[in-house]
């Protein structure tokens, strides 16, 4: 069993904020799989919204970002899962807006959601970071920034050219993230890294 986890805050007021871009990528992944005719079972469990395929769970924890590990702990116990069975998708203020970074291990890099996950899994799991940083963000307290919404231009770049039925088009930022998640799910980490390189090279 594989597990792809979007990190975000579940309350409605946080929709489309920078901190919730991991949720948006997961929602797009679910929509893409449904368009392909994949069968997904939807339910709530482990303090999360779960979309289940035959061998993959797509997970949106209902806890706040800094409690993401609570959900992961319950899943590990239920499925005897290992860290390498997981891919987490989250925002990253240390990356320029739109840049994607996929790693197979590492530190939290200041992300409280990943800190919570590391307390459960250790550091040896895959994470796809979506850059939300900009020169305009504050230098010290980033709370208001990450809980703020994207600008109109950023929003356009997130979703531009994304059509789940026509993957030949160059996707926007979320479309790229979705494609990388699908590659990891179907083929593994190294093919997902290769897919990221391809997508970054075409802009």
Taking only the tens of pLDDT, the chain with its 203 residues reads 999 999 999 999 999 999 999 999 999 999 999 988 888 999 999 999 999 998 999 999 999 999 999 999 999 999 999 999 999 999 999 999 999 999 999 999 999 999 999 999 999 999 999 999 988 888 888 899 999 999 999 999 998 765 555 555 567 999 999 999 999 999 999 999 999 999 887 76
3-class SS letters over 172-185? CHHHHHHHHHHHHH
Output the pLDDT for position 200. 82
Output the pLDDT for position 171. 75
Domain architecture of the chain: domains with CATH: 2-150 (3.40.50.1470)
CA distance 152 to 23: 19
Output the pLDDT for position 162. 52
Q: What is the dihedral of CA 189, 194, 196, 201, to 10 degrees?
A: 170
Whether 19 sits among the annotated catalytic residues: the reply is yes
In this prediction the pTM is 0.93
Helix (H, G, I), strand (E, B) or coil at 139: coil
Dihedral sign, Cα of residue 120, residue 64, residue 6, residue 152: negative
* Annotated catalytic residue, options 6, 14, 18, 19: 19
């Amino acid at each position: 069993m594989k597990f792809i986890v979007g990190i975000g805050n579940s309350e409605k007021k946080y929709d489309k904020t920078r901190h919730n871009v991991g949720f948006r990528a997961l929602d797009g992944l679910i929509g893409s799989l449904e368009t392909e005719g994949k069968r997904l079972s939807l339910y709530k469990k482990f303090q999360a919204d779960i979309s289940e395929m035959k061998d993959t769970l797509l997970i949106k924890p209902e806890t706040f970002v800094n409690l993401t590990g609570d959900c992961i702990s319950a899943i590990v116990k239920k499925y005897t899962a290992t860290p390498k069975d997981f891919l987490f998708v989250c925002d990253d203020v240390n990356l320029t807006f739109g840049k994607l970074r996929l790693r197979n291990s590492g530190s939290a890099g200041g992300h409280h959601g990943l800190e919570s996950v590391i307390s459960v899994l250790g550091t040896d799991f895959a994470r796809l970071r979506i850059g939300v940083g900009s020169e305009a963000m504050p230098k010290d307290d980033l709370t208001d920034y990450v809980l703020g919404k994207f600008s109109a231009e950023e929003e356009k770049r997130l979703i531009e050219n994304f059509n789940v039925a026509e993957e030949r088009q160059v996707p926007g930022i979320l479309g790229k993230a979705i494609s990388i998640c699908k590659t990891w799910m179907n083929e593994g980490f190294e093919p997902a890294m290769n897919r990221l390189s391809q997508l970054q090279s075409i802009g």
